[in-house]
Amino acid sequence: MSTNISGLNTLQDIRNMMEKSSRFISLSGWSGISAGICGLAGTWFAWQRINAFHAQANSASSQCIDCLKTDLLVIASLVFAAAFATAFFFTFLRSRRDGGVLWGPAARRLLWNTLFPMLAGGLVILRLVSLEQYDIIISVSLIFYGLALINGSRYTIGEVRYLGYAELATGLISLWLPELGLSLWAIGFGLLHIVYGIAMWWKYERTGN
């Protein structure tokens, strides 16, 4: 009887260790929420900038499409950096609290498996900009981001996969609805992150567990 219980405990220990060392489980729900807020703020800035551009188009002054391009790329980069930094911050706090391992093999694999597809997406977008194919940039960014999340979800909380599917679906829909581009962008990078973040916080962190 007692060997049976110790056998069960041993199996549980093994399972815990395998989980802990292969999946990065400190990812905080707050990280999703903060990334979503950055996404919404970024969309708002981009929208302002595009409106300003169109207002100029109606006035006599000459349009500067390259200035718009540069500004939008700068906004996008800043949003990415801010979202990444705040997401990292909240995850850092959580791993401190849980006494988890922040930088280990699991974190490395998570970063590699999400950043690599995103890097490929970034190159595709730069090429699209140079080809002046602006219509599908938003779709492409959402699609690559979704694929990156699906790929990375094996190395962190499994539910990240569902966020990935949602991003991917949003991106595919926007392929046929380019006129809704910026709204779908706000949904994808803003709303979905916030909804996901709240759900994860509710499920894993609410009880302070």
Partner 1 sequence: MMKNPIEHLNKIFDSRIRLGIMSALMVNESVNFNELKELIDVTDGNLATHVKTLEESGYIKVQKGFIGRKTNTTYSVTKAGEKAFKVHLDALEKMIRSIG
- The piece of 33-41, 59-67, 101-109, 198-206 that touches partner 1 (CB under 8 A) is 101-109
Supply the minimum distance, in Å, between the C-beta of residue 85 and partner 1: 24
**How many residues can be counted in the chain?**
209
The pair phi, psi for residue 24, each rounded to 5°, is -90, 100
Could you tell me the smallest distance in angstroms from the CB atom of residue 162 to partner 1?
A: 23
Which residue do the tokens 């909240």 mark?
Answer: 90
Site track for partner 1 across 1-40, x = CB under 8 A: x-xx--xx-xx-xxx-xx-xxx------------------
CA 8 to CA 98: how far, in whole Å? 24
Count of chain residues binding partner 1 (CB under 8 A)? 19
In DSSP terms, 156 is beta-bridged to 24
Supply the minimum distance, in Å, between the C-beta of residue 23 and partner 1.
Answer: 9
Min. distance of Cβ 18 from partner 1 in angstroms? 5
Q: Which is nearer to partner 1, 125 or 157 (CB)?
A: 157
In the list 51, 104, 133, 172, the residue contacting partner 1 (rule: CB under 8 A) is 104
Structure tokens at 128: 């699209």
Place of tokens 């996404």: 39
Residue of 89, 105, 85, 86 lying closest to 97 (CA atoms): 89
Applying CB under 8 A, among 105, 126, 127, 202 the residue interacting with partner 1 is: 105
State the minimum distance, in angstroms, from the CB of residue 208 to partner 1.
20
Alpha-carbon distance of 67 to 69, in angstroms, equals 5
Nearest alpha carbon to residue 32 among 74, 90, 76, 111: 90
Phi, psi dihedrals of residue 133, rounded to the nearest 5°: -95, 75
Residue ranges that bind partner 1, judged by CB under 8 A: 1, 3-4, 7-8, 10-11, 13-15, 17-18, 20-22, 99, 101, 104-105
